[in-house]
Amino acid sequence: MDDACLDRKVRRVVALSTDKASSPLNLYGATKLASDKLFIAANSYVGSQDTEFSVVRYGNVMGSRGSVIPLFQSLAENGELPITDPNMTRFMITLEQAVKMVWQAFDDMVGGEIYVNQIPSMKVTEIAEAVAPSARHNIIGIRPGEKMHEQMIGEEDAHYTFAYDGYYKILPAINDWYKDPNRIKNGRKVPPDFSYRSDTNKEWMTKETLREWIDANRSRIGKI
């Protein structure tokens, strides 16, 4: 894909990544991390001066196919919902927020940045209660390769990460581009032990807020 964009002189390219690319536990996450690395490295290809590559990283979009909300809705009539672990947490992002972050990247990018939305978290048990308040919870245990908590930015990237209003930006380590004022802009350097995880997140979504979103988007859930 990188070569095709270079050949056709595409001006700006944004790859869509996932939380699973941060400290991956399974093959899917490892392939997403490899994809992120390749897109960042593409900025230093010979002849890439006319094409800029960046990445937007986020988790499952609320109500999208394969996400937990439509799964819980499909099982609600059984009166019991499967819960991997009562302490599990997940990031919550709407389709509109995800798209807005992509456009933000196109407007802001110089090349090599990884953009991460600042979004709320929820416990999986609270998601279940918002979808089906009367359903019992059947604890089935965490599955191989599954994370207890989602992570968008690990401590290993803290040295290259800057905070902005509404998002974070991991700048590229190659060529010392993380020191580039054109890429940093008005960013604030995060602490050296910083990580962005769903369990230590400062922003949390309430069950009431999720119920309101479900009511307003019921016709789209599972079709996004």
* CATH code assigned at 106: 3.40.50.720
What is the mean pLDDT of the segment spanning 182-189?
97
Q: How many domains does the chain have?
A: 1
* Percent of the chain with pLDDT strictly greater than 90: 87
C-alpha–C-alpha distance, residues 94 and 103, integer Å: 15
pLDDT higher than 70, residue 217: yes
pLDDT of residue 99: 96
pLDDT of residue 44: 86
Instruction: Say which DSSP state 5 is in.
Output: H
Residues 6 or more apart from 211 whose CB is under 8 A from it? 130
pLDDT higher than 70, residue 48: no
Is 32 one of the catalytic residues?
Answer: no
pLDDT higher than 60, residue 34: yes
What is the mean pLDDT of the segment spanning 172-193?
96
Residue in 20, 123, 147, 169 annotated catalytic: 20
pLDDT of residue 46: 57
What is the mean pLDDT of the segment spanning 24-31?
94
Is the overall model pTM greater than 0.85, yes or no?
yes
Q: pLDDT of 62-92, one tens digit each? A: 999 989 999 999 999 999 999 999 999 999 9
Q: Is residue 224 part of a domain?
A: no
Q: Is residue 223 part of a domain?
A: no
pLDDT higher than 80, residue 2: no
Which range of residues forms the domain containing residue 116? Answer: 2-217
Question: What tokens does 60 get?
Answer: 């499952």
What is the mean pLDDT of the segment spanning 130-159?
95
Q: pLDDT of 92-136, one tens digit each? A: 999 999 999 999 999 999 999 999 999 999 999 999 999 999 999
Burial level of 23, CB count in 10 A (0-12/13-18/19+)?
Answer: middle
Q: Is residue 23 part of a domain?
A: yes
Q: Quick one: which of 124, 147, 146 has its CA closest to 205?
A: 124
